[in-house]
Amino acid sequence: MIKQNLKPINIMLADNNPLILSGMSDIFDRDPRFSLVATSATAEGFLGMVMRVPVEIGVIDWQLPVLGGAKLIEILRDQETAPRLVIYGDDTPDLPRLAMTAGAAGFAPRSGDIEVLLSTCIQVAAGKMVFPFLDIRDLQNDPIQQLSRRERMILEALSKGMTNRELSAECGISINTVKFHLSNLFDKLSVRNRTQAIAFYYSSRLSNGAGGSSKF
């Protein structure tokens, strides 16, 4: 069971559809579990706000103009204070996988009950990754494909025995951002620590016949 936060979850919404944005705003504004910080109809507006104001969870449309969801996630991924992002989109077969690969923390379908979105946001705020439409068994055929480019880089660097400080210097990001990427990486690979992640890395290379070169 997910523990309820003692204080409301700071949340921001971004959607190009004014009816959806208005409806979501009303629901989150009335729910005492959340504190609605702001709304935006564009990725640029969302980005500008979360760079200035503390936001824990961002609910965004994958097709958000002008940057789009994937690019927005990529930009925010290296920010220390970036919110965890939930994609609220059409339940097409590929979208949850694309969202997860890009670095989102959760997905909720527009066709579902609004309670699904609320529950997803609460779980993501508690540190979970929520992708109900993904077949985890299928992903396990090659879980490394879930990782973003930066996460793959960090995993390979981990295999060389680098510390967080060394990873920070190698990737040109802060130590807090390294920790953020490591947390996401561990979740996606279903491991608990860096030792297990390194073991997974070498096991994956052996199973793929990559004896001398990495697929990353």
Q: What is the mean pLDDT of the chain?
A: 85
Q: Judge whether residue 103 has pLDDT over 90.
A: no
Domain containing 164: what range? 141-207
Mean pLDDT of 122-135: 83
CATH number of the domain bearing residue 178: 1.10.10.10
Please write the tens of the pLDDT for every residue from 36-59: 999 999 999 999 999 999 999 999
Please state, in angstroms and rounded to a whole number, the distance separating the CA atoms of residues 11 and 58: 6
166 shares its domain with 116: no
121 shares its domain with 165: no
Are the beta carbons of 79 and 51 closer than 8 angstroms?
yes
pTM equals 0.66
Please write the tens of the pLDDT for every residue from 106-115: 999 999 899 9
146 shares its domain with 130: no
Tell me the two tokens of residue 7.
């204080």
Overall domain count for the chain: 2
Where among 134, 158, 191 does a domain terminate? Answer: 134
Are the beta carbons of 43 and 67 closer than 8 angstroms?
yes
Work out the pLDDT band at 192, boundaries 50, 70, 90: confident
107 shares its domain with 49: yes
The candidate with the shortest Cα–Cα distance to 115, out of 24, 200, 36, is: 24
123 shares its domain with 146: no
Residue 75 burial by Cβ neighbours in a 10 Å radius (0-12, 13-18, 19+): middle
Please write the tens of the pLDDT for every residue from 73-91: 888 876 778 899 999 999 8
Longest alpha-carbon distance in the chain: 57
